[in-house]
């Protein structure tokens, strides 16, 4: 947020002509007095340290007695956690400025078409006022992996469940050894025939996970020619007897039951009632086996590990874009407002579609503003620090490392290696020199 980084193009007035009045020396003195505090601070806090850091980067950890030439720079480009930092920063530079500029442009153009643009702009711009540090805390809450806790994964689970519904009893397991797991299904070992009763007792279901419509389980009466059965929560406070339907034990409704013939073919499929009972009518002769279908146990979507080592950098990029899109929107919006309207109107009158107007007129006319936003974002992205410290858990900070963070951790984070730390700082400085040169050149051409 500090100084947007790029020089403005204010009306640069010509310097007042030099005058020849006798008080010249005293006027020089006044100028010096007005300038002195700023020059003192800039000299002591910026110029001297910059020079010091450049020299310090040529010496080892123990201090100025230990000249190592360019060894610290060699470390910077070879040590694993530092190369990770450089690689990550390259990703940041490749992704963020482009996306932020594009989003800002889209938002700026679209908000011109709505009546409530002030409200929208305020909502998107709001994160600019919040510290990157607090933003990290905010997004860490959003990114919690458990979909019942993290909002991002909660949204993901809603979508995943709509595509592929989870089973009604994801955590259940058999209550007796008669039921065995086979290919995800829970198969009752006892062979069945017409007139048999299948007891499919399961347990391991938390009270809150029992389907709401469940009622007291009922041990069904045998029916001639049919196979009947019950699937129930074979557990009651205090335990109960496994494999036996007892008082206070609930039937499990909505469970898919398959019936297989002796050659393994599925010959019947049904779902259980509120009391857990089910029936396969007129099964004919032969022996059968029944099973609880695998879909009953399908686990709900577990969520992405946004804060894990693989996804931490994308997670950080999202949060960072969330902060800065408003900046791009406001700056580009101002450029848009200053654009000559008649040019746009002329293009529209000539029959250009909105998309053509956008691509052929709006974007080219905005190019200077877009480049300013883009370059400003490059500078900002190179300095990212606070967000990573607060968003990434310590265990993934090595994977999330960037140059500014590596500089701090190397210098002050326990290792206290001022040699390599200085080299990292100088590297960071070298990366912004092109922008520095650009700013000065721009100023000089405008001053003429």
Partner 1 sequence: MTAVATELPVQRERVAARIGRIALKAPVNLLLMVVGLLWLVPTIGLFITSILPASISEQTGWWKIFSKPSIATWSNYDALFHNSGLISALKTTAYIAVGNTVLVVVIGAMAGYALAWLEFPGRDWVLIAVIGLLVVPLQMALIPMFSLYDKVGLFDTVLGIILFHVAFGLPFAVFLLRNFFVGIPKDILESARIDGASEFWIFIRLMLPLGLPAIASLAIFQFLWTWNDLIVALTFGQNTTPITVWIFGQLREFGTSIDVIAPASFISLIVPLAVFFAFQRYFVQGLLAGSVK
Smallest gap from residue 442 Cβ to partner 1 (A): 9
Smallest gap from residue 168 Cβ to partner 1 (A): 21
Closest to partner 1 by CB, 77 vs 116, is 116
DSSP 246: -
Smallest gap from residue 412 Cβ to partner 1 (A): 6
Of 301, 307, 320, 359, give the one whose Cα is nearest residue 154.
301
Listed ranges 105-113, 234-242, 270-278, 282-290: which one lies at the site for partner 1 (CB under 8 A): 105-113
Residue listed under structure tokens 């030439």: 69
Smallest gap from residue 282 Cβ to partner 1 (A): 46
Q: Who contacts 328 (Cβ-Cβ below 8 Å, separation ≥6)?
A: 100, 101, 103, 104, 105, 107, 108, 373, 377
Mask for 329-358, x = binds partner 1 (CB under 8 A) = -xx--xx-----------------------
3-state secondary structure of 95: helix
Contacts of partner 1 in 254-273 (CB under 8 A): none
Q: Residue 160 and residue 146: Cα distance in Å, rounded?
A: 14
Smallest gap from residue 220 Cβ to partner 1 (A): 37
Closest to partner 1 by CB, 285 vs 433, is 433
Closest to partner 1 by CB, 229 vs 335, is 335
Buried b / exposed e across 288-324, counting CB within 10 Å, b at 16+?
bbbbbbbebbbeebebbebbeeebbbebbbbbbbbbb
Listed ranges 67-75, 190-198, 202-210, 432-440: which one lies at the site for partner 1 (CB under 8 A): 432-440
Q: Residue 279 and residue 425: Cα distance in Å, rounded?
A: 75
Closest to partner 1 by CB, 35 vs 98, is 35
Contacts of partner 1 in 68-87 (CB under 8 A): none
Q: Which residues pair with 258 in a beta bridge?
A: 269, 291
Contacts of partner 1 in 276-315 (CB under 8 A): none
Contacts of partner 1 in 207-246 (CB under 8 A): none
Contacts of partner 1 in 129-188 (CB under 8 A): 129-135, 137-142, 144, 148-151, 154
Closest to partner 1 by CB, 276 vs 303, is 303
Mask for 390-429, x = binds partner 1 (CB under 8 A) = x--xx---------x--xx--xx-----x--xx-xxx-xx
Smallest gap from residue 349 Cβ to partner 1 (A): 17
Please check whether residue 296 is in contact with residue 272, taking contact to mean a CB–CB distance below 8 angstroms. Answer: no
Residue listed under structure tokens 């499919």: 200
Containing H/E element for 380? helix 363-382
* One residue of 98, 119, 165, 367 binding partner 1 per CB under 8 A: 119
Please check whether residue 231 is in contact with residue 257, taking contact to mean a CB–CB distance below 8 angstroms. Answer: yes
Please check whether residue 229 is in contact with residue 255, taking contact to mean a CB–CB distance below 8 angstroms. Answer: no
Helix axes 363-382, 312-337, angle to 10 degrees: 140
Mask for 24-63, x = binds partner 1 (CB under 8 A) = x--xx-xxx-xx-xxx-xx-xxxxxxx-xx--x-------
Q: Decide if residue 104 touches partner 1 (CB under 8 A).
A: no
């Amino acid at each position: 947020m500090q100084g947007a980084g790029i020089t403005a193009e204010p009306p640069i007035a010509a310097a007042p002509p030099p005058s020849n009045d006798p008080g010249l020396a005293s006027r020089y003195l006044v100028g010096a007095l007005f300038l002195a505090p700023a020059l003192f601070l800039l000299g002591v806090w910026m110029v001297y340290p910059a020079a010091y850091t450049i020299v310090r980067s040529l010496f080892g950890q123990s201090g100025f007695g230990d000249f190592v030439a360019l060894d610290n720079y060699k470390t910077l480009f070879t040590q694993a956690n530092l190369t990770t930092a450089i690689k990550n920063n390259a990703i940041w530079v490749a992704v963020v400025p482009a996306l932020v500029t594009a989003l800002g442009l889209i938002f700026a153009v679209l908000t011109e078409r709505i009546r409530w643009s002030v409200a929208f702009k305020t909502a998107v711009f709001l994160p600019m006022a919040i510290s990157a540090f607090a933003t990290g805390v905010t997004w860490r809450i959003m990114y919690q992996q458990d979909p019942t806790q993290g909002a991002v994964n909660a949204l993901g689970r809603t979508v995943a469940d709509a595509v592929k519904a989870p089973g009604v009893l994801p955590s259940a397991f058999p209550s007796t050894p008669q039921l065995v797991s086979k290919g995800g299904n829970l198969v009752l070992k006892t062979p069945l025939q017409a007139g048999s009763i299948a007891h499919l007792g399961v347990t391991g279901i938390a009270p809150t996970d029992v389907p709401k419509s469940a009622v007291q389980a009922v041990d069904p009466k045998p029916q001639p020619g049919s196979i009947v059965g019950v699937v129930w929560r074979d557990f009651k406070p205090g335990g109960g007897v496994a494999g036996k339907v007892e008082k206070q034990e609930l039937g499990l409704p909505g469970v898919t039951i398959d019936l297989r013939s002796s050659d393994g073919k599925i010959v019947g499929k049904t779902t259980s009632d509120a009391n857990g009972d089910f029936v396969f009518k007129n099964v004919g002769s032969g022996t059968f086996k029944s099973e609880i279908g695998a879909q009953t146990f399908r686990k709900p979507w577990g969520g992405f590990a946004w804060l894990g080592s693989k996804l931490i950098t994308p997670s950080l990029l999202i949060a960072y874009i969330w902060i800065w899109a408003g900046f791009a929107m406001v700056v580009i919006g101002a450029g848009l407002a200053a654009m000559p309207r008649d040019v746009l109107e002329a293009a529209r009158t000539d029959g250009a579609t909105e998309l053509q107007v956008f691509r052929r007129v709006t974007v080219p006319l905005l190019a200077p503003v877009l480049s300013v936003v883009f370059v400003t974002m490059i500078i900002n992205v190179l300095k990212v620090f606070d967000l990573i410290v607060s968003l990434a858990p310590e265990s993934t900070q090595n994977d999330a490392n960037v140059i500014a963070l590596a500089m701090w951790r190397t210098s002050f984070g326990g290792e206290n290696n001022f040699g390599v730390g200085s080299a990292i700082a100088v590297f960071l400085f070298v990366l912004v020199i092109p922008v520095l040169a650009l700013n000065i050149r721009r100023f000089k051409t405008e001053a003429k």
